[in-house]
Structure 1
Amino acid sequence: MEFEQAHGNFLEMHTNDRGGERRGRLLRGHNYAEKLFLQNVWWPLFESLEHLHPEYEVYDWNRKSQFLDFAFLPLNGARFGIECDGYQSHIKDMDRERFSYALNRDTFLTGMGWRLLHFSFDDIQQRPEVCRMLLQLALAPYLARNRAGGEHLLSKEKEVLRLAWQLGRPVRPKDVTDNLQINFRTARKLLVTLSDNGLIKPVASNERVRYYEVSSMRPDQIW
């Protein structure tokens, strides 16, 4: 399915599912910047809008209704709030009180279990590859699952996966031993397990696997 068709279906589904102010907010709030984020950043990575909710209603500590540009709610219970921030509306025209409230709201939502991701409109429009890299870095450890058995990754496996993303280059067993303070045999076993599950890819050198690269992940890999 092409993006335009998927986006049209996406908006129609969420519009039909809402009423009152929630529906009005979606019709008013999902505009050029939000669509561009989906087109330039989200769609090239995942080719799906599944588990993504536009203009998602949340509440602050006073039970005041607020709306996130997007909420990503995968089946594993993680909650990501995604904001597309324009300089004019989010910084230049913001007074001190609104600035303080914005910071406090983000801190409150973080305390309530949300992971908040902010992307500038300039980057979405002009440097979407940076946004894609940062988005995948933030989401990758929460999207991975054991493809063979459908079981959750173990904590050490998650740590290795995060390390592989943080390094920005192929990861070696030695990197794992140095950063996780575990022995070489355990490090190699963790890498092989992640490779068997399709989360990293082996890179052969002189017919031996010495490095592993992170694989791209999609929403159908959510545990």
Structure 2
Amino acid sequence: MGFVEEHQRWLEYHKKRRAGERLDRLDRGHRHGEQMFVERVWWPIFGNLDELHPEYEVADWRGRPYFVDFVWKPGQVKFAIEIKGYGPHVQNTDRTRYRQELNRETYLQIAGYRVIAIPYDDLESAPEQTISLLKALLTPCLLKTRSEGSGQLSRIERDMLHMASRKNGMIRPVDVVKGLGIDPRTVKKNLNSLCDKGKLTPVLMQGGNRICRYELVPSIMDNELW
């Protein structure tokens, strides 16, 4: 299913489960900026809209309803994603409203959300930058969340994948030996295991047959790994 069809199905799914102000907010709130984010950033990363909730209602510190542009809850972690336009958020002359917005973001973090602010201008001119940043932010969290329940990876293997994700997707055996404090033979065994499972791929030295490093196989949609 392509993006247009999936986006429409996703919206209808959420609309059928809402009424009153919650439904009206979805109709009013999911507009150009939010749709650009879903199409130009979220869809290229994930290829689906699973666990992504548009115009998600939460209570602020006063108990009043507040709608976050998107909330994503893939398990133990939860993210609040806000699309920030320059005019409404920077040039806002209503100081009380601006102050309340900042307080809400702080309260969301107190409530256990990780808050992500997405510049509207980047969605128009540089969505690839937002994609790169989101991947760097989300991958380590989801590696931990999904792999803990999978039983498919050992603790050492998970630690190696976390290390690779922090190092721009590349890892050397010497990095693992130093970083995890384990002997080279164990490192080699687990690197080979991760290659067999399709999580890493070996990279040979230029003009030679010796492996110089391992690269993380893109797996942001791999539920077994996450």
Same-fold call, TM cutoff 0.5: yes
User: 1: distance between equivalents of 2:222 and 2:169?
Assistant: 25
- What is the Cα deviation at residue 198 of structure 1? 3.5
Q: Which runs of 5+ in 1 are unaligned?
A: none
SS at 1:68 equivalent: strand
2:115 alignment partner in structure 1: 116
2:106 alignment partner in structure 1: 107
User: 1: distance between equivalents of 2:186 and 2:94?
Assistant: 53
- Matching residue's letter, 2:214: Y
What CA deviation, in whole Å up to 9, does each residue of 1:128-174 have, x standing for no partner?
11111111111112333459x82286665555434323322521122
Alignment map for 1:1-223 (pairs within 5 Å): 1-74=1-74, 76-93=75-92, 95-144=94-143, 145-146=146-147, 150-151=150-151, 157-168=157-168, 170-205=170-205, 206-219=208-221, 221=223
Q: Is the 8 A contact 1:143 1:221 kept in 2?
A: no
What CA deviation, in whole Å up to 9, does each residue of 1:13-53 have, x standing for no partner?
11111111111110000000111011111111111111111
- What is the Cα deviation at residue 181 of structure 1? 4.5
Q: Is the 8 A contact 1:26 1:55 kept in 2?
A: yes
User: 1: distance between equivalents of 2:98 and 2:186?
Assistant: 47
- What is the Cα deviation at residue 193 of structure 1? 4.7
Of stretches 86-95 and 132-141 in structure 1, the one that deviates more from structure 2 is: 86-95
- What is the Cα deviation at residue 4 of structure 1? 0.8
SS at 2:48 equivalent: coil
Q: Give the superposed CA RMSD.
A: 2.7
SS at 1:221 equivalent: coil
SS at 2:80 equivalent: strand
User: 2: distance between equivalents of 1:107 and 1:193?
Assistant: 42
User: 2: distance between equivalents of 1:22 and 1:189?
Assistant: 53
1:121 to 1:190, Cα distance in 2 relative to 1, 3 A: farther
- Matching residue's letter, 1:178: K
Q: Whose relative contact order is higher, 1 or 2, with alpha carbons under 8 Å and at least 6 apart?
A: 1
TM-score by length of 2: 0.84
SS at 1:48 equivalent: coil
Matched length: 221
